[in-house]
Amino acid sequence: MKKWWNFAALIGASLSVSSCVDPYEPEIITEAQNYLVIEGALNSGAPTELRLSRTVGLADPNTYSPERFAVVSVESDGGNMIYLTGNANGIYTAPDLDLNPAHRYRLRIQTNTSGEYLSDYVTLKPTPPIDSIHWVQTAEGVQLYVNTHDPLGSTRYYRWEYEETWEVRAPYRAEFEYVDRQIVPRDPIPPRLCWAQENSAQVLIGSSARLVRDVIFNQPLVFIPHTSWKLSQRYSLLAKQYALSREAFEYYQQLKKNTEETGSFFDPLPVELRGNIYSVNNAQEPVIGYFDAGSVQEQRIYIDGSEVNPWGYRVRCDIVMVSPDSLDFYFGGGTLQPLYKDDEGNYYGSENIDCYDCSAKANPVKPDFWE
């Protein structure tokens, strides 16, 4: 989901239009700071993760301000209380929860500055399974879609998130390094196989409310441009599907308009978002977020790089041959790194670290789920 940390400041910025008069900095840019932002949902039968942060002004160099040391709990109308565990990044989690669908649940937050926030009670909404994920390749790239349906016709409103993982492979093995004017074996040899990850950053929602049947067909999830490194080797997408209440859907719909459709003079101005979370201490204090509860359905898909050939991304490696009498001239500056040598004693090097060390921009630890 697209982050909301600068959203309140965006409202103020949209009110200021360039002209010939003296620059005017709207007061709301200053006032919009320090509003509480809540992201996430209560999941039944799966881990729950809530992210708490504060909005920051447009002039603030920090783009993310986590809400640390809060006491975050979920309570049922039956009197049960579930406490979430927080970390330094403002992420509060709970393991798989076996929630009773006969009860309603609400969120309670107590900050370390004595602020208290409550959500309305919400009912657990079951989510139907994902029917399929498929992709289509065009000249511009690859588009992934999700399909689902509810045979009971009781869902109608959906939200999706996804996690991307892709394999990164360095083309060459760096067997040597230049130390004290000598070529020596490199130990350890930099990894050539790594994995990179990225989570969804947009509001992805869909509705079948205007259809006779509760069917979502070819809902776009993610587009991978033809020049992206994500599909150069092997790619995986984990899609997560949530059923929404109508009220939650309307909230996310407005959030999507505010965060994705405001960018030019002719776009609609953002409006104030009102979710179902409020401040107990100050009824006038804006709180950004919507607390919802239900089950989550997941499905994973893999795409091999050979399935999308020709693909537009390649690691550029300008390999330089260095004779034994020119080692210091080429390798002494530290930019060109030796990789391997031939039978005649010539060494071959590259300046691009991506050519021999994938850990420069990815993780060499293989994910547990990777196939």
Q: Distance from first CA to last CA of the chain, Å, rounded?
A: 27
Convert 100-128 to b/e letters by CB count within 10 Å (16 or more is b).
Answer: eeebbbbbbbebeeebebbbebbebbebb
The residues near 284 (Cβ < 8 Å, ≥ 6 apart) are none
54 closest CA partner among 69, 44, 41: 69
Query: In terms of domains, do 322 and 265 share one?
Result: no
Q: Is the pLDDT of residue 63 over 70?
A: yes
Query: In terms of domains, do 284 and 326 share one?
Result: no
71-97 confidence digits (pLDDT tens): 999 999 999 999 999 999 999 999 999
Q: According to the model, what pLDDT value does residue 189 have?
A: 97
Q: Which residue has the tokens 């947009």?
A: 202
Backbone angles phi, psi at 328, to 5 degrees: -70, -35
Question: Do the bridges between strand 71-76 and strand 65-66 make them parallel or antiparallel, or are there none, so unpaired?
Answer: unpaired
Q: Is the pLDDT of residue 24 over 60?
A: no
| Confidence tier at 17 by pLDDT (50, 70, 90) | very low
130-175 confidence digits (pLDDT tens): 999 999 999 999 999 999 999 999 999 999 999 999 999 999 999 9
CA distance 100 to 95: 15
Whether 136 maps to a domain, the answer reads no
CATH number of the domain that residue 259 is part of: 2.60.40.10
Query: In terms of domains, do 319 and 188 share one?
Result: yes
Query: In terms of domains, do 9 and 96 share one?
Result: yes
Could you tell me what percent of the chain has a pLDDT over 70?
87
| Confidence tier at 45 by pLDDT (50, 70, 90) | very high
Q: Is the pLDDT of residue 223 over 50?
A: yes
Whether 120 maps to a domain, the answer reads yes
Instruction: State the burial class of residue 152 (Cβ atoms within 10 Å of its Cβ: 0-12, 13-18, 19+).
Output: exposed
Q: Supply the mean pLDDT for the chain.
A: 90
CA distance 358 to 122: 46
Query: In terms of domains, do 332 and 278 share one?
Result: no
Q: Would the pTM count as exceeding 0.75?
A: yes
Average pLDDT of the residues in 319-332: 97
DSSP assignment letter at 326:
G
Our count of domains for the chain comes to 2
Query: In terms of domains, do 186 and 323 share one?
Result: yes
Cis peptide before 310 (omega within 30 of 0): yes
Is the Cβ–Cβ distance between 254 and 273 less than 8 Å? yes
Range of the domain at 321: 176-192+314-360
CA distance 307 to 320: 32
174-198 confidence digits (pLDDT tens): 999 999 999 999 999 999 999 999 9
CA distance 235 to 142: 11
249-273 confidence digits (pLDDT tens): 999 999 999 887 655 444 454 556 7
Q: Is the pLDDT of residue 348 over 80?
A: yes
More confident residue, 62 or 258: 258
Backbone angles phi, psi at 8, to 5 degrees: -65, -35
CA distance 131 to 95: 26
Is the Cβ–Cβ distance between 193 and 275 less than 8 Å? no
104 closest CA partner among 125, 88, 135, 85: 125
3-state helix, strand, coil in the chain (%, to 5): 15, 40, 45
CA distance 145 to 130: 11
Query: In terms of domains, do 83 and 24 share one?
Result: yes
Q: According to the model, what pLDDT value does residue 27 have?
A: 47
Q: According to the model, what pLDDT value does residue 293 have?
A: 97
145, 160, 204, 250, 251 from 256: Cα distances, Å: 19, 13, 8, 10, 9
Q: Which residue has the tokens 């393991």?
A: 95
CA atoms within 13 A on the CB side of 69: 4
Query: In terms of domains, do 320 and 264 share one?
Result: no
User: Cα 102–203–241 angle (5° rounding)?
Assistant: 45
Average pLDDT of the residues in 329-358: 97
Whether 129 maps to a domain, the answer reads no
The amino acid sitting at 19 is S
Q: According to the model, what pLDDT value does residue 260 have?
A: 79
Query: In terms of domains, do 279 and 322 share one?
Result: no
Q: Which residue has the tokens 């587009």?
A: 223
Query: In terms of domains, do 287 and 318 share one?
Result: no
Backbone angles phi, psi at 275, to 5 degrees: -95, -155
Average pLDDT of the residues in 109-118: 96
Q: Is the pLDDT of residue 6 over 80?
A: no
